[in-house]
Structure formats: C-alpha cells, structure tokens
Amino acid sequence: MNVLRAAVAIFGLAMAALILWAAFAKPELHGTFLDQFNVLTTMPWGVATLADLVIGFIFFAIIVFLTERSWVVAALWAVPIFILGNAWAAVWLVIRLPQLAKQLSKPDWPTS
C-alpha cells in the first residue's frame, strides 16, 4: 500500500510541476493561456482531450461524493479538481487510499 501511495504522490507532484511549468512558460514564445486554449479548441483531438479531462474530473467528483461521509467535505475535495486538476486528485488519493482499500475489500459493502 505504501508503494502505491508513494507512486501516486510522485505522479501528483509531477503533474503539479507540469502545471507550474505551463503557467510560467514565456507567453511571448508560446502565447498566453487563452491563446493556447483557443488553438487547442480548434483541433478535433484538442476538443476530445478537453472533454475527456472534464469527464474524468466529474468521475473523480462522483467517487469523492460516494466515499466521503460529509457533503461539505466531499465538496471541498471535489470542486478544486476542476481548477487544480489531477494533482489535487492525487492528494486526495494519497490520503484516502488505505480507507478506500478497506472499503472496497468489505464483502458487505453496498453495491446498489
């Protein structure tokens, strides 16, 4: 379990580093965020990738709402995913992985 948590943490940190790199990339060389977003949305694979990203965020939010005991806590974990991306999902997963593993291994865990 600790190896898996470490791997998730490493990937989360890598994602955070990529986000910071992109955020501070020189706009005079690559254009601003909006310039790049506008180009991305003109390409079919750009649109498909963005849709995949948002749908993945929604799936993550559903999992968070199903596993957290409080709706307020769930919202505090789920809403930032739409801004901070999968780096935020990695933080939640590193913290909750032991509890998730326990929950998912219970034979009496409700399935409906």
Considering the domain boundaries, does residue 9 fall inside one? yes
Considering the domain boundaries, does residue 112 fall inside one? no
Q: What is the 3-state secondary structure (H, E, C) of 36-87?
A: HHHHHCCCHHHHHHHHHHHHHHHHHHHHHHHHCCCHHHHHHHHCCHHHHCHH
User: Domain range for residue 44?
Assistant: 2-105
| DSSP H or E stretch at residue 29 | helix 27-30
Number of domains in the chain: 1
Considering the domain boundaries, does residue 100 fall inside one? yes
Taking only the tens place, the pLDDT of each residue in 15-45 is: 999 988 888 888 887 788 888 899 999 999 9
Considering the domain boundaries, does residue 27 fall inside one? yes
pTM exceeding the 0.85 threshold for the entire prediction: no
C-alpha span between 105 and 112 (Å, rounded): 16
